[in-house]
Structure 1
Amino acid sequence: MEDSFAFIIHPIDPKRDVSRKYPTLGKLPAWLIDYLSLFFPPVFISEIKGICSKANGRSLKGWFVACPLTPTRMVTLPPAVVYKKIIQTGQYAEKLGARLLGLGAFTSVVGDGGITISQNLDIPVTTGDSLTVAMAVRAIREAAQIMGTFLESAKVAIIGATGAIGSVCANMLAPDVRQLLLIGRRQEKLNEVAASARKRGCQDVILSSDMAQLHEAHLIITVTSAVESIIEAKHLRPGAIVCDVARPRDISRQVAEQRPDVLVIEGGMVEVPGPVDFGFNFGFPPKMAYACMAETMVLALEQKYESYTLGKDIKLSQVVTIDKIADKHGFKLGGFRSFERAVTDDEIAQIKACYLPNHAKNNSQFRSNGQPAIS
């Protein structure tokens, strides 16, 4: 039997995303697209070809299928209605021949994080969150190195720290950072994440629900399920690095317009091995996909047909395992992108120049205890 998968997408920005498949429909007002999304059936988007394992040359067949619901619809409709739409889309993927299903964007976080959907389909389901964590942490580490920000003396903020992705990101970074700022709304869960981070090696952990405290952070990973942006230009210190894993974005476009002294990158962009043709333009360069998409591909290449990442609890061991499997098959962190465009070396140099003219000089100085200085 041929190795295969399908991945569910849905319109994040109603006018933009609908226009990519149906230009005429995309001309409708956003409110009308939002309203009509409830009445559309699952949509075939494209066949995916050319994925090829670096380890063994195994190839994959795949499909993008769309659940028509917008983010606003997913968070306002009764969960049973949303589940029904996603399950219908999964059943459509089964008919196409998919042996594994990945859940994208809000389809992976609505309700119980894919568990109910999995129970109502005949093929395994994954949210892709495990590889998303791995790639987000890789991205923030690489960005910090390029910007000359030392983890061991940095304050790192996790927004959405009580969620499945945010909590594991906090635990992965805990052994290497000076201070963690965990921002979330569920105090009991924040306490659990903080206790785990302290066991992992970071004793200085601050808990908050106040976005104003974000101004103190050097590095930020943000991964909420907010429908609107929550991070504004005023929230960020000069030289801050923000890895935005959320879809829709947590960070406002005004940051790009008003803050030339901060680096904003999209989290979880992965380069897929082989002469890949996605058959659809979802706004990325050739061969690039979101990490949640890539996890589905990785599992199929590994012939690991199981519901790998489901629910609201991700184990660190899951993240480490899928990261190793992805690396084996040739999946790797893609280049940095910010608001649908590549971040160039010149732009990074300009960011450094804006926030710290003597950046190189300051970051070459060390404190008497041997720790690198940081602004």
Structure 2
Amino acid sequence: MKKFAFLVHVRNSYRIDLAAVARPFGWLPESFYENAMRNRPLRPFVWSKVTLSPGATEAEGYVIMVPYSGKQLLSQQRAMMPRIEQAVDLASSLGAGVVGLGALTSPVTLGGKLLTGRDDVSITNGNAFTAVITWRRMAQLIDESPSYRPTVAIVGASGSVGHLVSQLLARHQPDADYLLIARNERRLNALAWEMTGLNPLVEPQVSTDMESVRKADIVLLLTSSSEALLQSRHLKPGAVVLDDTVPRNTNPALLDQRPDVTIIDGGLVSMPYLHTSRDIGLPDQTSYACLAETMLLSLANHEGHFSIRNPTLEQAEYIGELARQYSDFGFRPAADHSFCVPMKTAARFQHSYSRSPASAV
């Protein structure tokens, strides 16, 4: 097994994340940190040591913090690239053979493309396994929907994960009506043609308007944004939302505004032996799917870069097979949470891993 590293950044709040290092940091207002961090060349550092094997006593991997907010990464991409390169340098110096790109470090590097000149580490954006886990959960939600033929809105469909999830759904779940939503209509139309080519029973609609989400029984949220994009007015009565975004594009206030709506945290993987030396913002023994992909590649001693920009159906099959091969470590869809809180209704949605209608990958 190779050592691995996974890059993260400050989520939506310096104050909250830094309070995990020392409680007094949480006493300062967010505006103080925003002003203090602006245009500062801050060096990445090890946020947490990670083990995933039962009984492991030495670090098998590292979570490396790029100490900037998601908003800064997206608005100052050119300035952020040297910081991300430094984070990969740190990973390599720690002996990591595989480096995963977490959250918005992936779009800033064009899905890892800007790092493929490196030959000291294998780079992956984690999107292949994220797509597989997301597709499996969506297949369950479609199967459980009270609608005979539910309308499924995929927000961010033309992105790296959205593209592959859409392909998997077209191939295996033709018993739904799909609405593809993103900013680029040309890409959406191309994806709709791809989906119909994979399965003639699937004829997706496309839209560039978030208001069209209101047609959907099930909403899959996959956008790369530092802000909450999904609002109460966008949701149909009784809608189910699978939020696969980090930072989150949903706000906890939605639970109060729309008690009829179910919001599920997406892209979470059960890892019964996982241990981190510092909180990474997840329930115990739970991993992000993109981090899990990094772990799978390290367990398999993978050589060369893996998921770069848009992962392929072939890569989905490969990483799904690795998940089965290393199932003793977990790599199964986690129990349902909503804003990191276990859902009382989780049993209503939960299927066994082996019986999932999405078990082909």
Band the TM-score falls in, shorter-chain normalisation:
0.7 to 0.9
Q: Deviation of residue 27 (structure 1)?
A: 2.8
5 Å-filtered alignment, 1:88-103, equals 88-103=86-101
Q: Deviation of residue 222 (structure 1)?
A: 1.0
Q: Normalization by structure 2: what TM-score?
A: 0.87
Q: Find the counterpart in structure 1 of residue 23 from structure 2.
A: 23
Q: Find the counterpart in structure 2 of residue 226 from structure 1.
A: 225
Q: Please tell me the root mean square deviation across aligned C-alpha atoms, in Å.
A: 2.3
Deviations along 1:63-83, whole A, 9 cap, x unmatched?
A: 111011111111111x33111
What residue identity is the alignment partner of 1:115?
K
Q: Find the counterpart in structure 1 of residue 51 from structure 2.
A: 49
Alignment CA distance shift 1:144-1:194 (3 Å): closer
Deviations along 1:155-208, whole A, 9 cap, x unmatched?
A: 111101111111111111124233110101112111110100111224431110
- Matched-pair identity in %: 27
Alignment CA distance shift 1:345-1:256 (3 Å): same
Q: Deviation of residue 99 (structure 1)?
A: 1.1
Q: Distance in 2 between matches of 1:149 and 1:16?
A: 40
Q: Distance in 2 between matches of 1:148 and 1:279?
A: 42
Q: Find the counterpart in structure 2 of residue 134 from structure 1.
A: 132
Q: Secondary structure at the match of 1:10?
A: strand
8 Å CA contact retained: 1:34, 1:73: no
5 Å-filtered alignment, 1:292-371, equals 292-311=290-309, 313-330=310-327, 331-345=331-345
Which moves more between the two structures, 332-341 or 252-261? 252-261
Q: Deviation of residue 224 (structure 1)?
A: 0.6
1:172 lines up with 2:168 in the alignment: yes
Q: Find the counterpart in structure 1 of residue 353 from structure 2.
A: none
5 Å-filtered alignment, 1:219-298, equals 219-273=218-272, 275-298=273-296
Q: Find the counterpart in structure 1 of residue 102 from structure 2.
A: 104
8 Å CA contact retained: 1:233, 1:254: no
Q: Deviation of residue 276 (structure 1)?
A: 2.3
Number of matched pairs: 339
1:114 lines up with 2:112 in the alignment: yes
8 Å CA contact retained: 2:167, 2:194: yes
Q: Find the counterpart in structure 1 of residue 79 from structure 2.
A: 81
Q: Find the counterpart in structure 2 of residue 364 from structure 1.
A: none
8 Å CA contact retained: 2:243, 2:249: yes
Q: Deviation of residue 271 (structure 1)?
A: 1.1
Q: Deviation of residue 111 (structure 1)?
A: 4.1
Deviations along 1:96-132, whole A, 9 cap, x unmatched?
A: 1111111100101114221213324621111101000
Larger radius of gyration: 1
Q: Distance in 2 between matches of 1:206 and 1:272?
A: 37
Q: Secondary structure at the match of 1:113?
A: coil
What residue identity is the alignment partner of 1:10?
H
Q: Normalization by structure 1: what TM-score?
A: 0.84
Alignment CA distance shift 1:149-1:5 (3 Å): farther
Q: Secondary structure at the match of 2:154?
A: strand
Which moves more between the two structures, 202-211 or 115-124? 115-124
Which moves more between the two structures, 11-20 or 92-101? 11-20
Q: Distance in 2 between matches of 1:306 and 1:326?
A: 19
Q: Distance in 1 between matches of 2:292 and 2:142?
A: 24
8 Å CA contact retained: 1:87, 1:120: no
Q: Deviation of residue 302 (structure 1)?
A: 1.0
Q: Distance in 1 between matches of 2:182 and 2:342?
A: 30
Alignment CA distance shift 1:93-1:22 (3 Å): farther
Q: Secondary structure at the match of 1:39?
A: coil
Q: Distance in 2 between matches of 1:342 and 1:149?
A: 25
What residue identity is the alignment partner of 1:66?
M
8 Å CA contact retained: 1:135, 1:268: yes
Alignment CA distance shift 1:47-1:178 (3 Å): closer
Q: For structure 1, which runs of at least 5 residues remain unmatched after alignment? A: 350-375
Which moves more between the two structures, 289-298 or 227-236? 227-236
Which moves more between the two structures, 202-211 or 101-110? 202-211
Q: Find the counterpart in structure 2 of residue 40 from structure 1.
A: 42
Q: Secondary structure at the match of 1:162?
A: coil
Q: Find the counterpart in structure 2 of residue 360 from structure 1.
A: none
Q: Find the counterpart in structure 2 of residue 207 from structure 1.
A: 206
Q: Secondary structure at the match of 2:179?
A: strand
8 Å CA contact retained: 1:60, 1:301: no
Q: Deviation of residue 148 (structure 1)?
A: 4.4
8 Å CA contact retained: 2:221, 2:245: yes
Q: Deviation of residue 280 (structure 1)?
A: 1.5
Which moves more between the two structures, 199-208 or 104-113? 199-208
Deviations along 1:228-280, whole A, 9 cap, x unmatched?
A: 1111112111221111111111223222112222221111100125x321111
8 Å CA contact retained: 2:152, 2:218: yes
Q: For structure 2, which runs of at least 5 residues remain unmatched after alignment? A: 350-361
